[in-house]
C-alpha cells in the first residue's frame, strides 16, 4: 500500500513537472507570438504614418496648385473670389471695414509688343514679388486678378489706409526702378474702395467701385492712385505721416 502511494506521488509529481514544462513552452510560444505581433503592428503603424504624411503632402500640393498662380507665385483669381466672399461675410458679421485695392501695370502691352512676351512674364513676376514684400500684415492677401492686374484684400482697413498702402507701393516701385538696369520700366496705377459690407454687399460691389477708381487713375495719366469716391484721394494726398497700421 505504501509502495502504491509512493508510485502515485511520483507519478503525480512527474505529471506536474511535464505539465509545467509544457505550460512553460506554451507560454514562451505565446510571448514570442505576442512580440512578433507587436513588431508587425509597429511596422504597419510606421508604414501607415508614412502613407498619411505622403497623402497630406500631396493634398497640400494640390491645394496650392488650385490657389496659386503658376507664373507669379501669388494667389490666383479663383482663390480671390472665394476669399473675397469669406472676408465680406466676416466683415459684415463683425461690422468692420473691408478694403479692396486693384493695381495694374502701366503700359503693359507696350512691354509685350516692344520686348516680347517673356519680358511681359518677367514684369508680372517682378511686380508680384515687389508688392508682396510691401505687405506687413499676415491678414493682407495679394492676388493676380488677371493679366497684368493685381488685387489686394485688406481686412479691417479703411479707405485712407488702403490708399496710403497703394501709394506707398506705387512710390516705392517707382523709386526702385530708378536704380534698376533693365530694358523696360515698371509703373503702377491703383484704385481703392473700402466699406463695411451691407446686407446685400457682394464681390461685384467692391470690384466695381475699385475698378472705377483704377479707371480714373489711368485716365488721369497713370502712375497714380485713385479711390472711390473720387474726392477721397484728394484729401489723402494732403495728409502726411503714417496714420494706419500697414
38-84: pLDDT as tens digits: 777 777 666 666 655 555 555 555 555 689 999 999 999 999 999 99
- pTM (2 d.p.): 0.73
Residue owning grid cell 498702402? 165
pLDDT digits (tens, 9 = 90+) for 107-153: 999 999 999 999 999 999 999 999 999 999 999 999 999 999 999 99
Strand partners, 142: 152
CATH of 77-237, one of 3.30.2010.10, 3.30.70.270, 1.10.10.10, 3.20.130.10: 3.30.70.270
Q: Give me the helices (H) in 68-158, please.
A: 77-94, 108-115, 117-134
Q: CA-to-CA distance for 156 and 216, rounded, in angstroms? A: 25
Q: CA-to-CA distance for 31 and 194, rounded, in angstroms? A: 71
Q: CA-to-CA distance for 151 and 164, rounded, in angstroms? A: 15
Amino acid at each position: 500500500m505504501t509502495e502504491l502511494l509512493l508510485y502515485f506521488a511520483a507519478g503525480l509529481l512527474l505529471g506536474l513537472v511535464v505539465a509545467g514544462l509544457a505550460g512553460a513552452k506554451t507560454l514562451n510560444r505565446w510571448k514570442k507570438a505576442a512580440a512578433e505581433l507587436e513588431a508587425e503592428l509597429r511596422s504597419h503603424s510606421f508604414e501607415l504614418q508614412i502613407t498619411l504624411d505622403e497623402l497630406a503632402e500631396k493634398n497640400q500640393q494640390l491645394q496650392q496648385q488650385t490657389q496659386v498662380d503658376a507664373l507669379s507665385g501669388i494667389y490666383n483669381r479663383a482663390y480671390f473670389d472665394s476669399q473675397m466672399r469669406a472676408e465680406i461675410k466676416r466683415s459684415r458679421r463683425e461690422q468692420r471695414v473691408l478694403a479692396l485695392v486693384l493695381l495694374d501695370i502701366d503700359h503693359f502691352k507696350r512691354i509685350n509688343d516692344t520686348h516680347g512676351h517673356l519680358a511681359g512674364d518677367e514684369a508680372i513676376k517682378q511686380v508680384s514679388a515687389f508688392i508682396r514684400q510691401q505687405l506687413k500684415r499676415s491678414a493682407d492677401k495679394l492676388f493676380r486678378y488677371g493679366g497684368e492686374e493685381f488685387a489686394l484684400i485688406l481686412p479691417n482697413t479703411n479707405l485712407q489706409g488702403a490708399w496710403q498702402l497703394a501709394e506707398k507701393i506705387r512710390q516705392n516701385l517707382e523709386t526702385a526702378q530708378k536704380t534698376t538696369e533693365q530694358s523696360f520700366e515698371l509703373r503702377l496705377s491703383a484704385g481703392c474702395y473700402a466699406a463695411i459690407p451691407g446686407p446685400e454687399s457682394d464681390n461685384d460691389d467692391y470690384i466695381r467701385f475699385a475698378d472705377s477708381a483704377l479707371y480714373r487713375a489711368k485716365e488721369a495719366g497713370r502712375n497714380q492712385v485713385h479711390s472711390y469716391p473720387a474726392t477721397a484721394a484728394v484729401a489723402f494726398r494732403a495728409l502726411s505721416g503714417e496714420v494706419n497700421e500697414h
